[in-house]
Amino acid sequence: SGQLTRGVFDGIFGLSPFGMSFISQLYSLGLSGNVFTLCMHSPTGGGILAFGEALEPGLTYTPLLPSPQYYQVNLQSIAVNGQTLPIDSSVFGPSPSNFTFVDSGTTLAFLADGAYDPFINAIRAATPPSALPFTRENGEICFSTSTSIDSAFPSVELDFVGGAKMFLYPHNYMYYVCNRVFQH
């Protein structure tokens, strides 16, 4: 119902760390290691989902931190256009009040208070004057532009413990609404 009926997908596949998750069931039956790999590959999509260890050359892993509820990871820094942002790494945790987790079923990303302003400021600084910023009534930072998202906005890199990096193209962290671009 709702948004699921309008999507271009067939359903939701739960990969939670709980005992009833698909990967936990495979592991308990001895059919797979207690690990899965999810890689987003290119600006147009693709990638891999592997149950058990993926032996794909060139993959870099980041360890999961102990957590009964989430796939918690240790994010070290964020870079915009190759420039690491001035964010104290304690903002990302791990601590009881600050932590970074990944969720394969969530489309939006949320930043901690200490990371949000530096991120928005870096995006604004790297955005050409033709992309006009404005703030919606609900506080969302938005831009009005006539060019494509990927040509008007900078790339973003998330750096994790272990050397893993996640590269985000502008269309991965922004979205269109009525010919206007909105920041996630």
Judgement on whether residues 140 and 70 belong to the same structural domain of the protein: yes
Reported confidence tier of residue 1, pLDDT bands at 50, 70, 90: very low
Judgement on whether residues 35 and 100 belong to the same structural domain of the protein: no
180 belongs to a structural domain = no
| Of the candidate ranges 9-13, 107-111, 117-121, 157-161, the one whose mean pLDDT is the lowest | 9-13
Position 67 scores a pLDDT of 73
Position 158 scores a pLDDT of 94
**Spatial contact of 24 and 33, defined as CB atoms under 8 Å apart:** no
- In the numeric block, the tokens 């969530």 are attached to 106
Reported confidence tier of residue 157, pLDDT bands at 50, 70, 90: very high
pLDDT in tens, 90-134: 898 877 777 787 776 666 778 888 998 999 999 999 998 888 888
pLDDT in tens, 38-95: 766 655 666 777 777 767 677 777 887 877 677 788 899 999 999 999 999 889 887 7
- In the numeric block, the tokens 């709980």 are attached to 18
Domain residues for the domain of 52 are 1-56
Position 59 scores a pLDDT of 74
Residue 12, pLDDT above cutoff 70 = no
CATH number at residue 154: 2.40.70.10
Position 97 scores a pLDDT of 74
Reported confidence tier of residue 10, pLDDT bands at 50, 70, 90: low
* Distance (Å, whole) CA 177 – CA 162: 37
Domain count of the chain?
Answer: 2
147 belongs to a structural domain = yes
Judgement on whether residues 92 and 145 belong to the same structural domain of the protein: yes
Judgement on whether residues 15 and 97 belong to the same structural domain of the protein: no
